[in-house]
Chains A and B, each alone.
Chain A
Amino acid sequence: MIEISRLTKKFDQFAAVDDLSFKVAEGEVLGFLGPNGAGKSTTMKVITGFLSPSAGSVMVDGFDIVQNPIEAKTLIGYLPEGAPSYGDMTTLEFLNFIAEIRGYRGEEIATRVQHVIREVELESVAQQTIETLSKGFKRRVGLAQAIMHDPKVLILDEPTDGLDPNQKHHVRELIKNLAKDKIVIISTHILEEVTAVCTRAIIIDEGRIVIDGTPAELEEKSKYHHAVSVRLTQDYDLASDLQGVSGIGDVVKEGEENSFTILASNSDSIFAKVSEIAQRKQWPVTEFHVNRGQLEDVFRSVTSQSQGGE
């Protein structure tokens, strides 16, 4: 259990994190979202004990990160932003170093290092110096380092940033596999990642929580929740057919030709109604599907105030 209560981190007068409180329990994968500069990385740096809080506290499994830093840090595996590692060491040397610091001795070191190398598929670059590796491999070395001691708490700052789609998929699978009975906090601004791996998402803006809920709950806040998208073979006046039907809101023309999105005016499903009308009026439909809601849309709407003010 991680307990963050009334956490504030100030740089001079600027509060990067402002009175933040939340708890994360075992088994949860928390997606930490927010625009650049919202305070995601700062929060993670405070949780991992790199920066000390200006006010408030962070408890990791009962250990205060300020009072008992060593005990708390022992429980945490951390991938800092940009996955820094010692470039002049080989992958193997670097991981050996981490294993030793994490308290492994003798033969355990080799066993453990081989295990994480297999886990993140680093076999091919084990003998290469880290500075010669590609971005994807460097990131995986960072991940390997973070999971070295099978930590109870895994904190990953933009773990898939700069990876190609295959690597992203691989890292997400890895996180999902690791997540059982662990606490995982991932910061990202790739919203699809939240639906892909997270069980819960927090959006922060200007150091404060603006939304906290499951990905599904977040999607419900979207104006596209329950909206029906249709694609037609030719132009057709959908709006007039739908006029006056209860529960149906605007019809939005999408960028693609003959594509429309029919929004729900309240949170009830409109699928049945729309499909009934479409059959009756014989719409020239080629595609027809229901939206779960768009996180991007929610993200923009809850974090837009500050952006607009600039």
Chain B
Amino acid sequence: MQNLGIIFRRELMGYFATPLAYIFIVIFLITNGIFTFDIGGFYLRGQADLLPFFSFHPWLYLFMVPAIAMTLWADERKTGTIELLLTLPIKLSEAVLGKFLAAWVLTGIALALTFPIWITVNYLGDPDNGVILAAYIGSWFMAGGLLAIGSCMSACTKNSVIAFILTVSICFTFVIMGSPILLNALPAWLPQFIVDAFAALGFLTHFDSISKGVLDIRDFLYFTVFIAAWLLASAIVIEIKKAN
């Protein structure tokens, strides 16, 4: 477990050693502002909640998170540091988890820095802060799910651009899985349980209920299992592909 912490710190420090972390945070905050105030009609709605803010997060993450995740393992393979890292006396699981957590905490920091919007909504009205907190946590878990996909895709290739494109594609699939657009497009003869299973796998299904303040342990369980599964897949891919 100590190694996990050491790797985590190194990775997080690595993000802040380059402009990457700062650019990510700034762009995240600006886009969030545009989405919430301009497109989301934050003021026009006349309601003191952060629904327009959170409802854009899946789409924002769709491009922001793969940008963070793409280098996770692809760069290690490209520069050969994977050989250094995996011949140190650490477990592969510590490396996979440490790297993932560092990236996840970075998205957490970016998310936490959106606090002025929370202050704004509290200044303007009297929102349900419990719902807002739940939505923040839900949003962070969703980012984690997308990051875990990104970790696995990044392990598949030496080329971080390919990792980015793969991650965006797969993340897009999971984000829209639960959306009505896709569910309506499914052929009518499909049995209901398959449609339900399909919807249950989608991010939106789970995130929507969390962001509306419905704190169901199953939604968090979904994201936790999702993250664990993709991280396990990352470890397997790294193990198989490290030779080439």
Contacts and interface: CB of A to CB of B under 8 A. Distances in A.
B87 A88 contact: no
Interface in B45-99: 79-81, 83-84, 86-91
B221 to A, nearest CB: 32
Given A93-B13, A101-B6, A45 B88 contact: no
A101 B79 contact: no
B243 A11 contact: yes
Interface string A60-85: 00000000011101101010111011
Interface string B87-115: 11111000000000000000000000000
B18 A70 contact: no
A92 B89 CA distance: 20
A97 B6 contact: yes
Interface in B155-192: none
Interface string A100-131: 11110000000000000000000000000100
B59 to A, nearest CB: 30
A11 to B, nearest CB: 6
B14 interface: yes
A50 B95 CA distance: 14
Given A49-B87, A100-B6, A81 B80 contact: yes
A88 B17 contact: yes
B88 A73 contact: yes
Contacts of B14: 86, 88-89
B144 to A, nearest CB: 24
A51 interface: yes
B3 interface: yes
A48 B87 contact: yes
Nearest to B5: A100
A233 to B, nearest CB: 54
B131 to A, nearest CB: 40
Nearest to A47: B87
A50 B6 CA distance: 20
Nearest to A70: B89
Contacts of A80: 80, 83-84, 87
A74 to B, nearest CB: 4
Interface in A3-40: 11
Given A89-B14, A93-B13, A97-B10, A84 B79 contact: yes
A232 to B, nearest CB: 52
A213 interface: no
A102 B88 CA distance: 8
Given A51-B242, A51-B243, A74-B89, A84 B18 contact: no
A73 B89 contact: yes
Nearest to B80: A84
Given A70-B91, A80-B80, A101-B3, A50 B86 contact: yes
B88 A101 contact: yes
A50 B89 CA distance: 11
Nearest to A103: B89
A43 interface: no
Contacts of A188: none
**Most chain B beta-carbon contacts within 10 A, residue among A48, A76, A86, A87:** A86
A222 interface: no
Contacts of B242: 50-51
Contacts of A71: 89
A259 to B, nearest CB: 44
Interface of A: 11, 45, 48-51, 69-71, 73-74, 76, 78, 80-82, 84-89, 93, 97-98, 100-103, 129, 145
Given A51-B243, A85-B81, A101-B6, 12 more contacts: A50-B86, A73-B88, A78-B84, A80-B80, A82-B80, A85-B84, A89-B13, A93-B17, A101-B7, A101-B88, A101-B89, A103-B89
17 contacts: A11-B243, A49-B87, A50-B242, A51-B242, A70-B89, A74-B89, A76-B87, A82-B80, A84-B81, A88-B18, A89-B10, A93-B17, A98-B88, A100-B6, A101-B6, A101-B88, A145-B84
